[in-house]
Amino acid sequence: MAGSEAKKVLRKDGEHTVKVALSPTLTIGDGSFVVIAGPCALENTDQVEKASSAVKNAGAHVLRGGAFKPRTSPYSFQGLGEVGLKLLAEQGKKLRVPVISEVMEVNQLALMLDYVDVLQVGARNMHNFSLLREVAKAGRPVVLKRGFGATLEEWLLAAEYLLDGGTDQVILCERGIRSFDNTLRNTLDLAGMAWVKERSKLPVIVDPSHSTGVRSLVIPMALAAAAAGADGIMVEVHPTPDQALCDGPQALTPAMFEQLMQALPPLLSATGRSLAHHTLSAVSGGAR
Amino acid sequence: MAGSEAKKVLRKDGEHTVKVALSPTLTIGDGSFVVIAGPCALENTDQVEKASSAVKNAGAHVLRGGAFKPRTSPYSFQGLGEVGLKLLAEQGKKLRVPVISEVMEVNQLALMLDYVDVLQVGARNMHNFSLLREVAKAGRPVVLKRGFGATLEEWLLAAEYLLDGGTDQVILCERGIRSFDNTLRNTLDLAGMAWVKERSKLPVIVDPSHSTGVRSLVIPMALAAAAAGADGIMVEVHPTPDQALCDGPQALTPAMFEQLMQALPPLLSATGRSLAHHTLSAVSGGAR
Amino acid sequence: MAGSEAKKVLRKDGEHTVKVALSPTLTIGDGSFVVIAGPCALENTDQVEKASSAVKNAGAHVLRGGAFKPRTSPYSFQGLGEVGLKLLAEQGKKLRVPVISEVMEVNQLALMLDYVDVLQVGARNMHNFSLLREVAKAGRPVVLKRGFGATLEEWLLAAEYLLDGGTDQVILCERGIRSFDNTLRNTLDLAGMAWVKERSKLPVIVDPSHSTGVRSLVIPMALAAAAAGADGIMVEVHPTPDQALCDGPQALTPAMFEQLMQALPPLLSATGRSLAHHTLSAVSGGAR
Amino acid sequence: MAGSEAKKVLRKDGEHTVKVALSPTLTIGDGSFVVIAGPCALENTDQVEKASSAVKNAGAHVLRGGAFKPRTSPYSFQGLGEVGLKLLAEQGKKLRVPVISEVMEVNQLALMLDYVDVLQVGARNMHNFSLLREVAKAGRPVVLKRGFGATLEEWLLAAEYLLDGGTDQVILCERGIRSFDNTLRNTLDLAGMAWVKERSKLPVIVDPSHSTGVRSLVIPMALAAAAAGADGIMVEVHPTPDQALCDGPQALTPAMFEQLMQALPPLLSATGRSLAHHTLSAVSGGAR
């Protein structure tokens, strides 16, 4: 990558890596491992409450849930919109964890900022440069997913739009690319994640849910991501995956998520790392 | 494609295919072959004038040129913006041909409608569903490029967003996909074009410039597209490709474009077709 | 391709392109267009006779048929073996056309040479360097299919093994590559074909049957190949595709093949070319 | 994979998984983790000795080295042949570890059986069904690499050729596939490995060297493979990678390999596993 046009996202000699503050009490990029979890789509009060308390109780650091869903078909469930954001924010406050949700267009941005701690730019919008510029101005931490048809270099250059736009609070998220083999939903490019981690000063996390599309592969790939040095994972959990309105087959049950959260600490410990933790002041003062 | 969620873009028994009016006097989708040509990016008055008169004189039906450029890097030339649109519209009026340019975001739409006859949604925005919905409302004819990482089904579903949004003035454009072989810029999927043409009632055109990225392959692929039944092509032409600010290596010289325009009629004739022509009233009344 | 390791397959200034003698009276590589046709697999006497006479009557230049079939599963029909080769050779003699069949392994080579005029190395064996070296020694004309996972450079280097092994009677055959879009069987890389044709002195043909896997796309892609400058095509034809033991969905019916053979001459004529023809002496003297 | 044609390689209810005996004292497929290491190509006595003692001292279980090299270009180093096999076998005897080398063609098989404990069928030969049938007859344990253009189903079906041929001593090896992103040599499909492991009764290992092509990514990917449940890894090690005749950039130095061998035990322990060990009788009796 001698000829990379990316400059700001690359690691320079002697320069600290970027630590992104997901909340006043939670940081990613300091070597510890952050777990973001929750349902693919926010569906209703009961589902959001059950999913949220399940993931929080098992030890998740950040709560996720989609309110605006980019769907390939105009006839698929498009998300609850602001109603969903409210549900998510309520759970975040109640459980004292920061929340993340995807922003799909510039016009949603102001609304999103009222409810979420972390913004997500989805794979289909990685090349939406107008959106990237506006998100950068918001200054809120942002998870930038890799496009499923984007090279590693293009991913770094999309992040460069954010850094050039004035923020360095950027987390990269590998979520699988397309390959000729369609057995699984996507092909998880863990080596690409490690390659980016080596070159960029930004934290990099992995999404084992969208990348595989298969529940039983989520835990093995989450552990693999941890072993390979990722800064965290973003995992989908649903109280009753069979009834999910979106991507049920890849959602972990609460019991499986708990199993994952128990498997992570010894594995991280084997490579000298540990799960992230909210700092003490957080416990007393609330996540936000 | 028995399970296709696309419904409105598919051809139903006994139903006419869609004819898209590119101008009051020019139609695509009626079996004739339409040629859209011009520079990748609008650069300055001299370049726009020279490119426009060259392609018009050689027989192009529609003039193209990018004013807003989606660039992988934030540091690449991003286009002239409204200044470019003005130059393009002036040439369209002067030469009596409709003009097309790419709209990258919802906020540009009102401005674009003042200057262009046909809107283009680029490959990187095929999955930008918010943009698709707004473009549909504008009612202006739109060329929808296939995403370089999008399946044929997803391309049809993106068009479905447009038809579901209220317009059927949609032209599909195959512009190459990504494959493991990076010798050429993309892999032109002509069979995919033919497959879509067989199923959809929408006109389908081919971009032999972006798909190959190599000047010498543009004419062979343009002829192949015509032989395979495409409704037209979109080709990049630059008066001095070596000095182009964007994608020079794939731009035809005016002389090569002339050669292409001379090769097309006999080839189309061999399959019972011909180049489109502006109707008589157009000649007297202007393109718009 | 400045750094290409291929040397012998590349065109040098002032050097003649290679003309390959498919029979004493039929040449490929001289600008005319050669049609190779017949069933995917040789199945039985009746099928071979019907397919052969159908394609010969419609104007095919070479008769094809597989006796040894490389099948993904060990439980699929593996071909008739020598029995099939005999049937094929008989039809070739009777109809005075050369015949081609695939050689899958070194140990089959001596047997094949007794029956076929032209050897085929299949996509799955493009990287079988041991086979290439032995085929080169045989001196018989050979059609080298591109591997579905092979780059253009690797395809040329596989041909380089043949030329380095002592023969220049090599015809390259593009038959589609794998891409993320599995709607069609493969992604036909016509631009790759044109790119190779520009660089290599070897004739290049196209297989529109395996590349698409869909009967209705075979004619459009055959015409596209002709328009793009290919030296010929290899097409599958079956008297009753519904009953084919192998790849029925992509086989043309005899009626469709006739339609193709009528469409080709005007299209070739439009680009200053024509179908190949067996020379006069051939008509009196037999194909072999 | 409801419609899989593979039957013998799949896991059936109540049936034991296959344990493959790499030597009288070393088994793979019993849950422990096997490390195969050595140079890509066997080059000369000094290199083979140094590489062998380095990997053995660090704890490798099997010694690897290529004597016949499948090279894309006919002008690249093609391997030492029998001379190399002798060097490898000598080191195996001296160091009391089994050795593995790649068999490229049927005619090499008898020779290989004189020297190696385990046969390897390379990625380019996964579809060489003739070779698979002969290898099956030999009865020797075989590592079957996945073709870089092969689907997971095709890989299982290639193994099915081996099992149908009479042996179940088969180890599958994921070594990366081709994707549109050519930043790294291949795209390591760890999730595909886990998917196969879930369905097949055969042991599955991972090659982090060929899949990445980059030395610094080998350790992260080896650890990821262990965390994801692979039965082992095959890693390239060279005493002086800068002078390697083949694939130097991906070879670990002896020091890096030692580092890897120290990192594996705690990581495996975290998931309740451990490195394989040669049984006691082996220590006294020799590997073969």
Amino acid at D227: A
Alpha carbon distance B103, B70 (integer Å): 10
Q: Does C192 touch chain B (CB under 8 A)?
A: yes
| Complex-level ipTM | 0.95
Q: What is the pLDDT of residues D194-245, one digit of tens each?
A: 999 999 999 999 999 999 999 999 999 999 999 999 999 999 999 999 999 9
Alpha carbon distance D154, A115 (integer Å): 48
Question: Is residue B243 classed exposed, middle or buried when 0-12, 13-18 and 19+ CB atoms within 10 A define those classes?
Answer: exposed
Q: Summarize the confidence of residues B240-245 as an average pLDDT.
A: 94
Q: Summarize the confidence of residues D52-72 as an average pLDDT.
A: 95
Q: What is the pLDDT of residues A257-279, one digit of tens each?
A: 999 999 999 999 999 999 999 87
Alpha carbon distance C196, C201 (integer Å): 9
What pLDDT sits at residue D14? 67
Q: What is the pLDDT of residues B254-281, one digit of tens each?
A: 999 999 999 999 999 999 999 999 875 5
- Say if B239 falls within a structural domain: yes
Q: What is the pLDDT of residues D235-285, one digit of tens each?
A: 999 999 999 999 999 999 999 999 999 999 999 999 999 999 987 554 443
CA A114, A117, A123, A129 torsion-angle sign? positive
How many domains does one find in chain D?
Answer: 1
User: Is the pLDDT reported for residue C287 higher than 60?
Assistant: no
- Say if B272 falls within a structural domain: no
Nearest to C252 by CA among C205, C209, C206, C210: C209
**B125·A128 Cβ contact <8 A:** yes
Question: Is residue C4 classed exposed, middle or buried when 0-12, 13-18 and 19+ CB atoms within 10 A define those classes?
Answer: middle
Alpha carbon distance B219, B215 (integer Å): 8
In this complex, the residue of C178, C187, C191 whose CB is nearest that of residue B221 is C191
Strands (E), C165-279: 170-174, 204-206, 232-236
Residue D3: pLDDT band (50, 70, 90) is: low
Alpha carbon distance C145, C155 (integer Å): 8
User: Which residues in chain D are closer than 8 Å to C165, comparing Cβ atoms?
Assistant: 74
Q: Summarize the confidence of residues A108-121 as an average pLDDT.
A: 97
Alpha carbon distance A57, D61 (integer Å): 43
What pLDDT sits at residue B279? 77
Q: Summarize the confidence of residues B130-158 as an average pLDDT.
A: 97
Per-position b or e across A86-96, b if 16+ CB within 10 A of its CB: bbbbbbbeebb
Residue whose structure tokens are 């999103």:
A112
Q: Summarize the confidence of residues C35-52 as an average pLDDT.
A: 97
What pLDDT sits at residue C3? 55
Alpha carbon distance C37, C218 (integer Å): 12
Alpha carbon distance D74, A115 (integer Å): 62
Q: What is the pLDDT of residues C46-88, one digit of tens each?
A: 999 999 999 999 999 999 999 998 888 998 888 999 999 999 9
User: Which residues in chain A are closer than 8 Å to D174, comparing Cβ atoms?
Assistant: none
**C76·D5 Cβ contact <8 A:** yes
User: Is the pLDDT reported for residue A254 higher than 60?
Assistant: yes
List the subunits that have 3+ CB pairs under 8 angstroms with D: A, B, C
* CB hemisphere CA count around A192 (13 angstroms): 31
Residue B284: pLDDT band (50, 70, 90) is: very low
Q: What is the pLDDT of residues A24-55, one digit of tens each?
A: 999 999 999 999 999 999 999 999 999 999 99
Nearest to C194 by CA among B183, B275, B257: B183
In this complex, the residue of D153, D195, D224 whose CB is nearest that of residue A217 is D195
Percent of chain D with pLDDT over 70: 95
Joined together, the tokens standing for residue D74 give 């006919």
Residue whose structure tokens are 């890989």:
D155
CB B171 within 8 A of CB B155: no
CA D273, D279, D282, D288 torsion-angle sign? negative
User: Is the pLDDT reported for residue A85 higher than 60?
Assistant: yes
Question: Is residue D240 classed exposed, middle or buried when 0-12, 13-18 and 19+ CB atoms within 10 A define those classes?
Answer: middle
CB B95 within 8 A of CB B52: yes
Alpha carbon distance C233, C206 (integer Å): 5
- Say if D239 falls within a structural domain: yes
**D104·C129 Cβ contact <8 A:** yes
What pLDDT sits at residue B15? 75
What pLDDT sits at residue C71? 87
Residue A281, phi then psi, degrees to nearest 5 = -55, -30
What pLDDT sits at residue C282? 44
Alpha carbon distance C203, C232 (integer Å): 9
B:118-147 residues touching chain A, CB 8 A cutoff: 124-125, 127-131, 147
User: Is the pLDDT reported for residue C283 higher than 60?
Assistant: no
What pLDDT sits at residue A16? 75
Q: Summarize the confidence of residues B24-48 as an average pLDDT.
A: 97
User: Is the pLDDT reported for residue D2 higher than 90?
Assistant: no
Q: Does B183 touch chain C (CB under 8 A)?
A: yes
- Say if A174 falls within a structural domain: yes
Residue A96: pLDDT band (50, 70, 90) is: very high
**D127·C71 Cβ contact <8 A:** no
User: Which residues in chain A are closer than 8 Å to D149, comparing Cβ atoms?
Assistant: 180
**A178·C180 Cβ contact <8 A:** yes
CB C223 within 8 A of CB B227: yes
**C190·B216 Cβ contact <8 A:** no
CB A267 within 8 A of CB A227: yes
Residue C8, phi then psi, degrees to nearest 5 = -75, -25
Q: What is the pLDDT of residues A175-234, one digit of tens each?
A: 999 999 999 999 999 999 999 999 999 999 999 999 999 999 999 999 999 999 999 999
Q: Does C149 touch chain D (CB under 8 A)?
A: yes
Q: Among A193, A207, A223, which would you mutate to test the D interface (most chain D Cβ atoms within 10 Å of its Cβ)?
A: A223
CB D20 within 8 A of CB D203: yes
- Say if C201 falls within a structural domain: yes
Alpha carbon distance A224, A213 (integer Å): 16
CA A256, A259, A265, A270 torsion-angle sign? negative
Alpha carbon distance A272, A243 (integer Å): 39
Alpha carbon distance A56, A37 (integer Å): 9
**B194·C220 Cβ contact <8 A:** yes
DSSP code of residue B233: E
- Say if C105 falls within a structural domain: yes
Q: Among C151, C181, C188, C223, which would you mutate to test the B interface (most chain B Cβ atoms within 10 Å of its Cβ)?
A: C181
Q: Among C148, C178, C180, C182, which would you mutate to test the A interface (most chain A Cβ atoms within 10 Å of its Cβ)?
A: C180
List the subunits that have 3+ CB pairs under 8 angstroms with C: A, B, D
Which CATH number does the domain housing residue C129 bear?
3.20.20.70
Average pLDDT over all residues of chain C: 94
Q: Spell out the residues 6+ positions from residue C216 whose beta carbon is closer than 8 angstroms to its own.
A: B198
More confident residue, A1 or C110: C110
What pLDDT sits at residue B288? 43
- Say if C282 falls within a structural domain: no
**A190·D192 Cβ contact <8 A:** no
**C182·A179 Cβ contact <8 A:** no
User: Which residues in chain D are closer than 8 Å to A269, comparing Cβ atoms?
Assistant: 266, 270
CA B130, B132, B134, B137 torsion-angle sign? negative
User: Is the pLDDT reported for residue A288 higher than 50?
Assistant: no
Q: Which domain holds residue B76?
A: 2-264
Alpha carbon distance C86, C80 (integer Å): 10
**Element (H or E) spanning D38, and its range?**
strand D34-38
Q: What does each C-alpha distance from B60 to B37, B250, B260, B272 come to in angstroms?
A: 6, 18, 11, 20
Strands A26-28 and A34-38: unpaired
The Cα of C129 is separated from the nearest Cα of chain B by a number of Å equal to 21
**B191·C192 Cβ contact <8 A:** no
Taking each helix axis from N to C terminus, what angle separates D215-227 and D190-199, rounded to the nearest 10 degrees?
A: 30
In this prediction the pTM is 0.95
Q: Does C73 touch chain A (CB under 8 A)?
A: no
CB D232 within 8 A of CB D197: no
Residue B121, phi then psi, degrees to nearest 5 = -105, 120
What pLDDT sits at residue B133? 95
CB C275 within 8 A of CB C230: no
Residues comprising chain D, all counted: 288
User: Is the pLDDT reported for residue B101 higher than 80?
Assistant: yes
What pLDDT sits at residue B285? 38
The Cα of B177 is separated from the nearest Cα of chain D by a number of Å equal to 9
User: Which residues in chain D are closer than 8 Å to A225, comparing Cβ atoms?
Assistant: 224
Nearest to C279 by CA among C22, C1, C24, C16: C24
Reduced to 3 states (helix: H, G, I; strand: E, B; else coil), residue C260 is helix
Alpha carbon distance C127, C150 (integer Å): 9
Q: What is the pLDDT of residues C204-253, one digit of tens each?
A: 999 999 999 999 999 999 999 999 999 999 999 999 999 999 999 999 99
Average pLDDT over all residues of chain D: 93
User: Is the pLDDT reported for residue B163 higher than 70?
Assistant: yes
First to last CA, chain B: 39
Q: Does B151 touch chain D (CB under 8 A)?
A: no
**D181·A226 Cβ contact <8 A:** no
CB A104 within 8 A of CB A125: yes
Q: What is the pLDDT of residues B165-211, one digit of tens each?
A: 999 999 999 999 999 999 999 999 999 999 999 999 999 999 999 99
Largest CA distance in chain C: 51
**C179·A182 Cβ contact <8 A:** no
CB D144 within 8 A of CB D156: no
SS (H, E, C) C27-73: EECCCCEEEEEECCECCCHHHHHHHHHHHHHHCCCEEECECCCCCCC
Q: What does each C-alpha distance from A96 to A61, A65, A87, A93, C127 come to in angstroms?
A: 9, 16, 14, 5, 58
CB pairs under 8 A between C and D: 76
User: Which residues in chain A are closer than 8 Å to D153, comparing Cβ atoms?
Assistant: 183
What pLDDT sits at residue C280? 55
Amino acid at D133: R
What pLDDT sits at residue D284? 40
Alpha carbon distance B119, B140 (integer Å): 7
- Say if B117 falls within a structural domain: yes
Residues comprising chain B, all counted: 288
What pLDDT sits at residue A285? 39
Q: Summarize the confidence of residues D24-34 as an average pLDDT.
A: 96
The Cα of C203 is separated from the nearest Cα of chain B by a number of Å equal to 16
What pLDDT sits at residue A13? 67
User: Is the pLDDT reported for residue D125 higher than 70?
Assistant: yes
CB C185 within 8 A of CB B191: no
User: Is the pLDDT reported for residue B286 higher than 60?
Assistant: no
Alpha carbon distance A159, A179 (integer Å): 23
Residue B14: pLDDT band (50, 70, 90) is: low
User: Which residues in chain A are closer than 8 Å to C180, comparing Cβ atoms?
Assistant: 149, 178-180, 182
Amino acid at C37: A
Chain A residue closest in CA terms to B125: A128
User: Is the pLDDT reported for residue A255 higher than 60?
Assistant: yes
User: Which residues in chain D are closer than 8 Å to A264, comparing Cβ atoms?
Assistant: none
